[in-house]
């Protein structure tokens, strides 16, 4: 199998997955409404009651990015699970094509969906008073962090989608992923949490990821640690998730479809 064929296969699959996303108006609309509604909810409803040592909009933007990415990952898991229950994957596999291209199609579509949602979070954030102090170089670093995080989460979602026996089961992944950020520094600083929850918040991957973005945009983290320190932990976490998810997704794809 030449590289040119493999690339062409991947491109066909990306087109397919993207078309499928665009033609699911319900999910697409929700994915676009979610950032707007959550931003307004957090800044105007909860924000006034929360003391984060500054404007809440300045605090919460990274948290909403990971929350929306969690929702987006659920969509990806459902898309993969749906594909697996459909005869079309058997057809793909009985054709002389690179089987990785099917997953790559899902991952690229997932990245595209999530980056649109992320851009929307940033735009709405700026509209409600978020004022990042970062210079362009730090913006680029933040973008890199977001892409790496969403990539890792997309692969994890693909693995969950392959593992799930149905689209409904895969959907529950959304619920889990949308709760994990609440027990991190995404919405409130760790020091305001009771001791057991604080312990979880200080040791789960969402915290360094959120803090890296916060540090890059606002110049300081909520944990007091340096942005660079948080960034290394965040990168290590994402790399670990990515490695595990890619390995298990590839394994599951080979074995799940042959059952």
Partner 1 sequence: MPYTVTVSGITKSFGGRFVLDHVDLAIETGSVLALLGPNGAGKTTLVRILATLIRPDAGTAAVAGHDLLADPAGVRRSISLTGQHAAVDDKLTGQENLEMMARLLHLPRRAVRDRAAGLLATFGLEEVRHRRVGTYSGGMKRRLDLAISMIERPELVFLDEPTTGLDPRSREQVWGTVRDLADDGVTILLTTQYLEEADHLADTIAMLDHGQVVARGTADQLKSNIGTEVVRLQFGDRECYDCALGQLEPVHAEPRLHILEVASNGSAAHVRELLSHLEAAGAPALKVSIRRPSLDDVFLSLTAAQAATKELAR
Q: Which of 51, 46, 107, 101 is nearest to 79 (CA)?
A: 107
> What is the closest distance, in whole angstroms, from the C-beta atom of residue 73 to partner 1 in the complex?
20
Q: Which of 216, 211, 256 is nearest to 237 (CA)?
A: 211
Q: Which of 88, 123, 175, 176 binds partner 1 (CB under 8 A)?
A: 88
Binding status of residue 25 toward partner 1 by CB under 8 A = no
Which residue number, 248 or 257, has a Cβ lying nearer to partner 1? 257
Size of the residue set binding partner 1 (CB under 8 A): 23
> What is the closest distance, in whole angstroms, from the C-beta atom of residue 55 to partner 1 in the complex?
43
Q: Which of 7, 90, 140, 203 binds partner 1 (CB under 8 A)?
A: 90
Which residue number, 51 or 86, has a Cβ lying nearer to partner 1? 86
Which residue number, 14 or 201, has a Cβ lying nearer to partner 1? 14
Contact 246, 154 (CB under 8 A): no
Binding status of residue 92 toward partner 1 by CB under 8 A = yes
Choose the stretch contacting partner 1; rule: CB under 8 A; options: 16-24, 167-175, 188-196, 225-233.
16-24
Which residue number, 96 or 196, has a Cβ lying nearer to partner 1? 96
Which residue number, 10 or 209, has a Cβ lying nearer to partner 1? 10
Alpha-carbon span 157 to 78, nearest angstrom: 8
Q: Which of 194, 192, 222 is nearest to 207 (CA)?
A: 222
Site for partner 1 in 97-116 (CB under 8 A): 97
Rounded to the nearest 5°, which phi and psi values hold at 50?
-100, 135
Q: Which of 118, 121, 119 is nearest to 57 (CA)?
A: 121
Q: CA triplet 24, 25, 31: central angle to 5 degrees?
A: 95
Alpha-carbon span 172 to 149, nearest angstrom: 20
Binding status of residue 6 toward partner 1 by CB under 8 A = no
Site for partner 1 in 47-86 (CB under 8 A): 86
Q: Which of 3, 94, 137, 195 binds partner 1 (CB under 8 A)?
A: 94
Q: For residue 115, count other CB atoms closer than 10 A to its CB.
A: 16
Alpha-carbon span 95 to 89, nearest angstrom: 10
Q: Rule CB under 8 A: which residues touch partner 1?
A: 5, 8-9, 12, 15-16, 19-20, 23-24, 86-88, 90-97, 257-258
């Amino acid at each position: 199998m030449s590289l040119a064929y493999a690339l062409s296969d991947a491109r066909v699959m990306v087109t397919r997955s993207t078309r499928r996303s665009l033609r699911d108006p319900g999910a697409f609309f929700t994915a676009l409404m979610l950032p707007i509604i959550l931003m307004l909810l957090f800044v105007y409803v909860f924000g006034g009651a929360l003391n984060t040592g500054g404007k809440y909009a300045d605090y919460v933007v990274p948290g909403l990015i990971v929350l929306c990415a969690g929702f987006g990952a659920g969509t990806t898991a459902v898309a993969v699970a749906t594909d697996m229950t459909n005869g079309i994957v058997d057809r793909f596999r009985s054709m002389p094509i690179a089987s990785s291209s099917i997953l790559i199609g899902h991952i690229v579509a997932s990245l595209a969906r999530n980056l649109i949602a992320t851009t929307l979070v940033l735009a709405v954030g700026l509209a409600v008073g978020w004022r990042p102090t970062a210079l362009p170089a730090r913006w680029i670093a933040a973008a890199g962090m977001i892409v790496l995080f969403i990539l890792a989460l997309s692969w994890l979602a693909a693995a969950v989608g392959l593992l799930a026996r149905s689209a409904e089961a895969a959907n529950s992944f959304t619920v889990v992923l949308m709760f994990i950020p609440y027990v991190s520094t995404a919405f409130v600083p760790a020091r305001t949490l009771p001791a057991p929850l604080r312990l979880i918040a200080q040791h789960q991957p969402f915290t360094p990821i959120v803090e890296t973005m916060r540090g890059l945009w606002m110049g300081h983290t909520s944990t007091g640690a340096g942005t660079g320190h948080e960034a290394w932990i965040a990168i290590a976490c994402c790399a670990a998730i990515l490695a595990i998810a890619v390995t298990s997704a590839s394994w599951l794809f080979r074995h799940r479809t042959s059952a």
